[in-house]
């Protein structure tokens, strides 16, 4: 049996994504910018995919743009906002538990002379709202906070964060990295008062190499790349239509409410079973996104456990796939003890995760507790 439980790293393609990709490759391979029939066909597909993305974000079609994925989208939001508005101020704010594509972007801003403020979190990964409020001033031009943490599943209070920024009468744009939230919980950035939001395809059973960014109408960004004018110059370059077609198909298959109910049941079952084992410490908060469960097996290094489980065809993670081989900055920022961090495991599920997969994982964990401790 195989149990793939690393869906926060990436997901397998769903059937609709495969079908739309094959159709695009075989029949609809034109350049959307071309004026002939093949170009018109591709442009129609592009418009349909954009309409689907806009519907999922409850916004206007002209407010969504396609990118190569979450990392590029995050870089575009951070650098585009900071360099466009640097005349208004030089303070930029993020949290201590962001994805590396945000953390390293802010590192670059610090190198370029921006004042970078990183808001700490509590032991469950929730940012300190009071410290956030105190950090915002009239020179703050960007606040970037993720919607759902990729390692522990903490859901940040995005609506409250937006209210705080607006209440301080700051010129700051608000950016939300919604890569782990998209397709799993309802997202309404315009209603929440968000200016920028990034999403990705391969976290929702679409292909890699494509994602999207919401840019509220009237928001100005300095493009990171320049080229032929595609995506209204926000992200120029010939659109990768097979990838966008696959993203379109993945979005069509989404059933957010039904999947959330199923995954809540899965999470509750897994946590209840894990807590029966004396060695287990649950690191994810009770109200985390149910797709992610982070826990530690006291006394066992996560790398050793991962290798043993991999041999059993059980695939999990010790944290973010983008921080391979490094101590988790998220769990460190949450001030968890070193032994908990060193033994942490992330199980990330999808709508295709069944109870039998979780039972096999539990069998694998019991095997690890017996085998590794004997060595």
Please give the positions annotated as active site. 322
Tokens of 89: 């101020």
Tell me the CA distances in angstroms from 222 to 4, 79, 86, 110, 128, one per residue in order. Answer: 40, 8, 11, 18, 30
Q: Are strands 91-95 and 140-144 parallel, antiparallel or unpaired?
A: parallel
Neighbours of 375 (CB within 10 A): 5
Using only the alpha carbons of the chain, give its radius of gyration: 21
Neighbours of 280 (CB within 10 A): 18
DSSP string, 289-339: -TTEEEEEETTS-HHHHHHHHHHTTEE-BSS-GGGTTS--HHHHHTT--HH
Please state the φ and ψ torsions of residue 174, each to the nearest 5 degrees: -110, 120
Q: Pinpoint the alpha helices (H) of the chain.
A: 15-26, 37-56, 70-84, 100-111, 129-135, 158-167, 189-192, 241-253, 256-274, 302-311, 329-333, 338-342, 355-374
Angle subtended at Cα 333 by Cα 331 and Cα 339, rounded to the nearest 5 degrees: 40
Those residues whose C-beta lies under 8 Å from the C-beta of residue 146, and which sit 6 or more positions away, are: 95, 97, 98, 99, 102, 156, 176, 177, 178, 179, 180
The widest CA-to-CA distance across the chain, in whole angstroms, is 69
Distance CA 145, CA 86 (A): 19
Those residues whose C-beta lies under 8 Å from the C-beta of residue 258, and which sit 6 or more positions away, are: none
Consecutive H or E run containing 199: strand 196-200
Distance CA 224, CA 71 (A): 12
């Amino acid at each position: 049996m195989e149990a793939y439980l690393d869906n926060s790293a990436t997901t397998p393609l769903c059937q609709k994504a495969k079908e739309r990709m094959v159709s695009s490759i075989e029949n609809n391979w034109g350049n959307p910018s071309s004026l002939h029939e093949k170009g018109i066909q591709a442009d129609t597909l592009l418009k349909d995919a954009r309409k689907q993305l806009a519907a999922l974000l409850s916004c206007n079609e002209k407010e969504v743009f396609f990118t190569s994925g979450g990392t590029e989208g995050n870089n575009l939001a951070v650098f585009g906002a900071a360099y466009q508005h640097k005349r208004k101020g030089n303070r930029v704010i993020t949290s201590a538990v962001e994805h590396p594509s945000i953390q390293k972007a802010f590192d670059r801003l610090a190198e370029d002379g921006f004042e970078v403020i990183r808001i700490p979190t509590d032991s469950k990964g929730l940012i300190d709202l009071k410290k956030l409020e105190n950090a915002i001033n009239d020179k703050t031009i960007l606040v970037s906070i993720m919607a759902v943490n990729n390692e522990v599943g903490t859901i940040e209070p995005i609506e409250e964060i937006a209210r705080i920024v607006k209440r301080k009468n700051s010129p700051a744009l608000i950016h939300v990295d919604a890569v782990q939230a998209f397709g799993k919980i309802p997202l309404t950035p315009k209603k929440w008062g968000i200016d920028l939001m990034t999403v990705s395809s391969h976290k929702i059973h679409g292909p890699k190499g494509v994602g999207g960014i919401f840019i509220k109408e009237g928001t100005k960004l300095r493009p990171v790349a320049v080229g032929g004018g595609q995506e209204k110059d926000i992200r120029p370059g010939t659109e990768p239509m097979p990838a966008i077609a696959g993203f379109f198909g993945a979005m069509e298959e989404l059933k957010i409410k039904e999947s959330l109910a199923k995954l809540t049941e899965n999470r509750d079952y897994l946590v209840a079973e894990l807590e029966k084992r004396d060695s287990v410490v649950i690191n994810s908060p009770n109200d985390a996104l149910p797709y992610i469960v982070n826990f530690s097996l006291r006394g066992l290094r996560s790398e050793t456990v991962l290798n043993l489980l991999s041999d059993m065809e059980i695939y999990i993670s010790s944290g973010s796939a983008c921080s391979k081989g490094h101590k988790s900055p998220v769990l460190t920022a949450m001030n968890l003890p070193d032994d908990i961090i060193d033994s942490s495991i992330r199980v990330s599920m999808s709508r295709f995760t069944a109870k039998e997969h979780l039972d096999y994982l539990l069998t694998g964990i019991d095997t690890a507790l017996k085998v590794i401790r004997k060595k």
